């Protein structure tokens, strides 16, 4: 197995593109290990409905990336103080779907650093009765990949607020609940004062001590960026892959109460109904029809509403109306 030096890229979109590039390019004939991190990001599972998983307001206000990955499983939050690891190998080696095989070197390395890590359930790593790592797998052709996350010193509050939509009491309870179930591992290290980067170096020195280190060439880097741009930064991949669903949202504005009912397919609004005790001077059916075909994202809805006559609504601003939809 060879260790791929990651060159400190912090985009999850790039990381996922690199994984796919290695798995699909014939020049990479060996097994590979990667240890990487990201800027604040929500990684959406392959088969999840993105819109149902994220708190859009918090995500947008805090510049959190939303990227769908190739593997299944649930949504996870990562940031610069969390780490990810990837093992790329071959299905034919007989270890396909064996989560214990690929988490064992992580567990062994953490134990050397003072963390009494254990494997639990179908895909989790635990410290005592608290989870600090989830894992997922996928295949492309005869290539197989296992990747997982490590909560080193991740911002737990941002993790919860980016995933749960609700008032402050609900969010507060959510944070308390999750804190009872998840944990960072930093304080359990023999040396809890090490930085995130120092933790990475120690993990690499243990897991990759007998591995050849390879770097991505400039040509390969450009190919990875192409995959990143065409797939992992594409709205249709991150949002449009979501299954058909419907949303009912109730919002109180200065101009009255709005109840919005939307049917959404592949991230596109296919049906829209607006009810409530607001005042509207025009044809509400015509206004509703204009939303059909619009992407279910704030920027697209804002642009569409701005291009319509808002004076027909009494005491309702453009931003108020957008907040009724998303």
Grouped pLDDT means (10 residues each) for the chain, 326 residues: 87 97 94 96 91 89 96 92 96 74 95 96 90 92 94 95 66 64 95 96 93 93 96 93 85 90 92 88 87 92 88 88 90
d(CA 180, CA 202): 28
- Give yes or no: residues 99 and 12 share one domain: yes
pLDDT at 99: 87
Strand partners, 135: 148
How big is the CA angle at 296 (ends 290 and 302), to the nearest 5 degrees? 65
* Cβ neighbours for 38, distance < 8 A, ≥ 6 positions apart: 10, 11, 12, 15, 65, 78, 79, 80, 82, 84
Domain boundary, last residue among 240, 265, 297: 240
Domain count, the chain: 2
User: Given strand 245-253, what is the order of strands in its sheet?
Assistant: 245-253, 256-265, 268-276
Is 106 buried (19+), middle (13-18) or exposed (0-12) by CB count in 10 A?
buried
Same domain, 220 and 294: no
What counts of helices (H) and strands (E) characterise the chain? 12, 14
Paired tokens of 244: 């058909």
Same domain, 209 and 270: no
**pLDDT on residue 181:** 87
Considering the domain architecture, whether residues 264 and 200 belong to the same structural domain is answered as no
C-alpha–C-alpha distance, residues 88 and 36, integer Å: 14
CA distances to 89, 189, 195, 206, 261 from 111, rounded to whole Å, are 24, 9, 18, 11, 51
Distance of alpha carbon 85 from alpha carbon 70, whole angstroms: 15
Which residue matches tokens 């931003």? Answer: 319
> 204 and 311 share a domain?
no
pLDDT at 89: 93
For residue 51, the model assigns a pLDDT of 85
Q: Which two tokens stand for residue 162?
A: 């980016």
Task: Single out the residue in 199, 222, 240 at which a domain terminates.
Answer: 240
Q: Please indicate, yes or no, whether residues 103 and 210 belong to a single structural domain of this protein.
A: yes
- Comparing CA positions, the residue from 274, 278, 251, 252 lying closest to residue 261 is 274
* 157 & 26 share domain: yes
Query: Distance between CA atoms of 321 and 290, rounded to whole angstroms?
Result: 14
- Cα(148)–Cα(102) distance, rounded to whole angstroms? 9
Tell me which residue range forms the domain holding 68: 2-240
What confidence score (pLDDT) does residue 172 get?
62
pLDDT value of position 179: 66
**One domain for residues 306 and 274:** yes
Query: Is there a single domain that holds both residue 233 and residue 249?
Result: no
Q: Are residues 178 and 314 in the same domain?
A: no
- In the listed set 195, 211, 240, which residue is the last one of a domain according to the structure? 240
Asked if residue 262 and residue 197 are part of one domain, the reply reads no
Q: Are residues 281 and 210 in the same domain?
A: no
């Amino acid at each position: 197995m060879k260790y791929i030096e990651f060159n400190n890229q912090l985009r999850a979109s790039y990381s996922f593109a690199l994984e796919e590039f290695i798995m699909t390019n014939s020049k990479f004939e060996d097994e590979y290990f990667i240890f990487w991190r990201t800027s604040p990001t929500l990684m959406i599972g392959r088969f999840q409905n993105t819109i149902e998983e994220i708190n859009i307001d918090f995500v947008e206000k805090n510049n959190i990336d939303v990227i769908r990955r190739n593997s299944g499983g649930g949504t996870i939050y990562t940031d610069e103080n969390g780490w990810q690891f990837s093992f790329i190998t071959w299905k034919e080696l007989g270890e396909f779907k064996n989560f214990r095989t690929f988490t064992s070197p992580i567990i062994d390395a953490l134990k050397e650093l003072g963390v009494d890590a254990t494997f639990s359930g179908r895909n989790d790593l635990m410290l005592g009765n608290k989870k600090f790592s989830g894992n997922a797998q996928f295949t492309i052709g005869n290539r197989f990949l296992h990747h997982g996350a490590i909560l080193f010193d991740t911002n737990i509050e941002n993790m919860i607020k980016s995933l749960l939509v609700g008032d402050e009491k609900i969010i507060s309870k959510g944070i308390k609940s999750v804190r009872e179930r998840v944990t960072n591992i930093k304080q359990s290290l023999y040396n809890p004062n090490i930085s995130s980067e120092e933790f990475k170096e120690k993990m690499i020195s243990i897991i990759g001590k007998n591995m050849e280190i390879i770097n991505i060439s400039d040509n390969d880097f450009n190919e990875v960026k192409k995959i990143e741009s065409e797939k992992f930064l594409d709205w249709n991949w991150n949002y449009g892959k979501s299954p058909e669903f419907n949303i009912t949202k109730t919002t109180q504005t200065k101009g009255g109460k709005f109840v919005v009912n939307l049917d959404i397919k592949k991230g596109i609004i296919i049906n829209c109904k607006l009810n409530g005790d607001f005042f509207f001077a025009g044809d509400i059916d015509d206004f509703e029809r204009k939303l059909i075909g619009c992407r279910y994202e704030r920027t697209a809805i804002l642009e569409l509403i701005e291009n319509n006559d808002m004076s027909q609504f009494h005491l309702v601003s453009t931003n108020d109306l957008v907040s009724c939809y998303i």
